[in-house]
Amino acid sequence: MAMKTSEESRPTERAAGAVTPWPADIKMRAAGLDFYYGGKQALHSIALQVPTGRITALIGPSGCGKTTFLRILNRMYETVPQARPDGEVLLDGEDIFALDVVNLRRRVGMVFQKPNPFPKSIFDNIAYGLRINGMAGKGSLSEAVEKSLKRAALWEEVKDQLHKSAYALSGGQQQRLCIARALAVEPEVLLLDEPCSALDPIATAKIEELLFNLKDICTMVIVTHNMQQAARTADYTGFFLMGRLIEFNKTAIIFKTPARKETEDYITGRFG
């Protein structure tokens, strides 16, 4: 039953009872997922499959729950007191709520809305995750840092100033640094929470191109307010409205022939 999803072997903490074979083309699956902030329900029975090695975009108006959903996938919601999910989310067939949270977040990385580099040097920012997770042999550390920066298309711009403060970089560079930082620990899934909302169009274009090239390495889920961005980058798109997943399909279908009227209204700009 066990699917081999990556070369490295890791200890599996499979939820008891997961006996059906897990399809290789699905990376994560949410089913019947409700979510509550205190007494307020923010998500209503979300069911969604994240395809392996693809970019999945989540769109919808502000407050529709797309970011909330994203933050469930790596259990980031746990930083909010009294936030509580109810339902099932599987990563390669494993219940993420049963996984060790540190282990889960190692496998499911995240890039945030605003660039949030650590107040350290560029090198130390990338090396941080490797050091923390004990993935760094002394010799390979600088190689690993270089690899991550190259993947994030930042190497050429920073290779001569690796020991400068990360704050010396521009906003777009900082965001690519954050992507490189997340990639350094070789996550299987990368969550991106409106990664371009604080950036100008040129920096945005660079990041979109970068995401496209990352598809070989990991599965991505991107929350975006920008419908063009979803149309340009994503293979699949989910439309959220008032805490419900209204429609989920291939991006081309969502944008050309949406099945639901709400989706059509939103993408044609009739509201939102």
Nearer to other proteins, 32 or 118 (CB): 118
Among 2, 3, 47, 132, binds other proteins (CB under 8 A): 132
Backbone angles phi, psi at 72, to 5 degrees: -75, -35
Shortest CB 46 distance to other proteins, Å: 21
Minimum CB separation of residue 239 from other proteins in Å reads: 25
Q: Which is nearer to other proteins, 97 or 205 (CB)?
A: 97
The mark string for 91-130 relative to other proteins (x by CB under 8 A, - otherwise) is -----------xxxxxx-xx-x-x-xxxxxx------xx-
Stretch that binds other proteins, among 60-68, 71-79, 143-151, 249-257 (CB under 8 A): 71-79
Q: Which stretch binds other proteins (CB under 8 A): 82-90, 152-160, 161-169, 258-266?
A: 161-169
CA distance 15 to 11: 13
User: Is 178 a binder of other proteins (CB under 8 A)?
Assistant: yes
Which of 46, 83, 152, 185 forms a contact with other proteins (CB under 8 A)?
185
Strands 236-241 and 83-91 turn out to be unpaired
Question: Closest Cα to residue 236, out of 254, 221, 251, 246?
Answer: 251
Q: How far is the CB of 242 from other proteins (least distance, A)?
A: 26
Minimum CB separation of residue 134 from other proteins in Å reads: 11
Residue 100: which region, alpha, beta or left (left: phi > 0; alpha: psi -120 to 50)?
Answer: beta
Which residue pairs, CB below 8 angstroms and at least 24 apart, start in 98-105?
98/13, 98/15, 99/13, 100/13, 101/75, 103/13, 104/74, 104/75, 105/74, 105/75, 105/76
Please list the residues that pair with 85 across neighbouring strands.
Answer: 35
d(CA 58, CA 246): 11
Residue matched to tokens 């190259």? 150
- Supply the minimum distance, in Å, between the C-beta of residue 70 and other proteins: 11
